[in-house]
Amino acid sequence: MDWLDHVRWDRDGLVPAIAQEAGSGDVLMLAWMNREALARTAESGEAVYWSRSRGRLWHKGEESGHVQKVHEIRLDCDQDVVLLKVTQLGHEPGVACHTGRHSCFFERLEGGAAWTAVDPVLKDPATIYTK
């Protein structure tokens, strides 16, 4: 059996992929992968995702330069979520989020009533993208 056949793809042929920073354990982002994205990630050692909004493969960092070097690829117990252990490259400390923050998970629920941004912007988002 092909290793890709072991993944439980959803009805759209996608699987959620969590990017976790190898050094700190920080969860950086959640994205989606199709079969080709996961195969390219394994082959290249850099994260490639499926952009649902653009309807195409998306090599993380293709516009921003914020590439994710993949050290490990793991599959959860139900075979329906992929975990990538990565080093976030392109800006120190690594910027994974299009908002210019280290992690996409920068808002925390405060007092059960409001979301509050608790992590700083490390790089102005207007300067991140070339296209």
Q: Between 105 and 15, whose confidence is greater?
A: 15
* Max avg pLDDT among 35-44, 97-106, 122-131: 35-44
- Sorted by where each starts, the structural domains of the chain and their CATH numbers stand as 3-121 (3.10.20.810)
What pLDDT digit, counting tens, does each position of 77-100 carry?
999 999 999 998 876 668 888 888
CB-based contact 104:39 (threshold 8 Å): no
In this structure, what token pair is assigned to residue 2?
A: 């092909």
What pLDDT digit, counting tens, does each position of 21-65 carry?
999 999 999 999 999 999 999 999 999 999 999 999 999 988 888
CB-based contact 100:125 (threshold 8 Å): yes
- Segment 67-85 shows an average pLDDT of 97
